[in-house]
Structures are given as C-alpha cells and as structure tokens.
Amino acid sequence: MIRHWKRHVMPIIETVRPRRIMEIGADWGWTTREALAWCRSNDARMDVVDPSPRPELHEELAKFDKSLYRYHALKSLQAIPQLLTPDVALIDGDHNWFTVYNELRLLESQARSMNRPAPVFVLHDVGWPYGRRDGYYAPKQIPRRYRRPNAQLGLERGNAGLLTEGGANRNIWNAKLEGGKRPPFFAGFRELTKDTRRLLSVCIERSISRVLPDGSSASTITCATMHSKLTRAPASSGTSCCEGTGIPS
Ligand SMILES: C[S@@+](CC[C@H](N)C(=O)[O-])C[C@H]1O[C@@H](n2cnc3c(N)ncnc32)[C@H](O)[C@@H]1O
C-alpha cells in the first residue's frame, strides 16, 4: 500500500479527516509510519493490527508517542470486535475471500450497531495478483470450505497457475489457480453491496469506477471526483478505495 500513499491513500485520509484509523497488515511499518505521522499532526489515533509483522514495525512505532496508537498482535478477525470502529480502515493483511469479506462485514456491522457510518475502506492488492486469486499466510486457519487448493509457490502476471521456480510472493500459500466461484476482493464487494445496499466506491490504480449497490459499475471518474463524492457521501454510506488493475468494470 505504501506506493499508493501519496497519490491515493493520503488524499483520501485528508478528505475524510478520520479521528481513528485502523491498519490491518503492517509488515515493515512503512504505511504505518506515514499514517501515524498524519495522526500526530491531526490529533487522530490509530490501531495497528498484524499477528506477525517484521521486527522493523516496532522500530517505526517507537518513533511515535504511545498515546497515538495501539498495536495488536492479533489476526484481523479476532481484533476487530475488540476495537473501536475506525473512520478509515487500511486493509492489507491476509488476501483471501474469507478474511477480507469478513473484515468488511465485521467493520460495517460494528459501525451500524453503533449507529455510525461505515468506515472508508482502503484496500490494497485487489488487482493482480490477489484480485482473482486467494493467498493465505496461514491456510490451516481458514475454514476448509473457504480454502482453495494452494501451495507455497510463486506467481507470474498472465499465468493462472503457479511457478515451480521463482515468481512473486513465494512466502505466501497461493491458490493453485486464479478465478473460481469467489475471487477474493471483487466478489466480496459485490456481496457486501448486496447485503448492505450501500454505495461503495472502488479506486483502482489507473482509474476509479463507482460500484453501484446492485453490483454493476459506473463510468470511470477521476480521483478528484471520487474525493468530492467521499465528502458528499451520505452519513450511512460505506465507501471503499482499492488499487489494482484486475477489477472488472
Ligand atoms: C502485504 S503485507 C502489509 C504491507 C503494509 N500494509 C505496507 O503498506 O507496507 C501483509 C501483512 O499482513 C499480515 N497479516 C497476515 N494475516 C493477517 C491477518 N489475518 N490479520 C492482520 N494481518 C495479517 C502479515 O503478517 C503481513 O505483515
């Protein structure tokens, strides 16, 4: 997500002006560092959720006053019910349908139960490689019926299978095949919009399209337009922004 900080994530945060941010999946802490700097300048607070980040995350956290954040060494689905509903959720953790769908669902229903607007969701890796393929950090912890056949092998753009040598993200158990009944992210959005009948906005790397409550998508709009839509969105709307190139539009 860090490479989208300046162009997409920070402008959204500037627009929404959250009091509370939740980051799911921090890893080295690069996005954490930027988000915490924003919180420091804008009197906001942050929950950082990652069960197994790199040790460098703690070096980044140590640069900030502890009153600004809480770090939770938990998986997202354990952490969310224990935490305050954020105004913005940065979602970049376990990239599979079961986890992401339930992250969105839990955050949305938690907000609804508190009579608050759903968070603005900012999702990373919704294009290649995980827009149409599950990846698992810990496959055995995903219920069997939601787990696809997978292997700890690398990925190559344009190749629906896995590479036996080389390739990207070899540290993750990747689904052996792209596609299927429930490609992780986009299917999650569709189901969520169907469930909640709320407007979701999807921002992709080069273009931004609006996904309507019935799951169809509208024309490409500019980033600036999306930001103004965010500011004008009715209080009960959930809005998401995600990067990538693989989303059907
Ligand atoms: C792609 S990295 C995050 C990169 C980071 N957002 C950035 O911008 O630099 C994914 C991280 O998600 C964490 N992770 C895996 N499963 C998770 C889960 N269920 N909940 C939260 N974090 C998870 C991993 O430990 C890993 O550090």
pLDDT in tens, 113-149: 998 877 887 878 777 788 778 999 999 999 998 899 9
Structure tokens, 175: 């689904």
- Give the Å distance between the CA of 172 and the centre of ligand 1: 11
- Give the Å distance between the CA of 51 and the centre of ligand 1: 8
* Whether the Cβ atoms of residue 233 and residue 242 lie closer than 8 Å to each other: no
pLDDT above 90 covers what percent of the chain?
A: 47
112: nearest Cα among 196, 4, 206, 53: 196
pLDDT in tens, 218-228: 333 333 344 44
Residue nearest atom 14 in ligand 1 by C-alpha distance: 93
Residue nearest atom 11 in ligand 1 by C-alpha distance: 25
pTM of the model: 0.82
pLDDT in tens, 61-70: 999 999 999 9
How far apart CA 152 and CA 169 sit, in angstroms, is 9
Reply yes or no: is the peptide bond before residue 55 cis, omega within 30 of 0: no
| For the CA of 25, the nearest atom of ligand 1 | 12
Structure confidence at residue 8 (pLDDT): 75
pLDDT in tens, 82-92: 999 999 999 89
The residue ranges of every structural domain in the chain are: 2-130+187-242
Residue nearest atom 18 in ligand 1 by C-alpha distance: 75
Burial zone of 236 (CB within 10 Å; 0-12 exposed, 13-18 middle, 19+ buried): middle
Cross-strand pairs, 174: 135, 151
CATH code of domain 2-130+187-242: 3.40.50.150
- Give the Å distance between the CA of 225 and the centre of ligand 1: 30
> How many residues are given for the chain?
249
Structure confidence at residue 59 (pLDDT): 98
- Give the Å distance between the CA of 47 and the centre of ligand 1: 13
pLDDT in tens, 186-219: 555 555 544 443 333 444 333 333 333 333 333 3
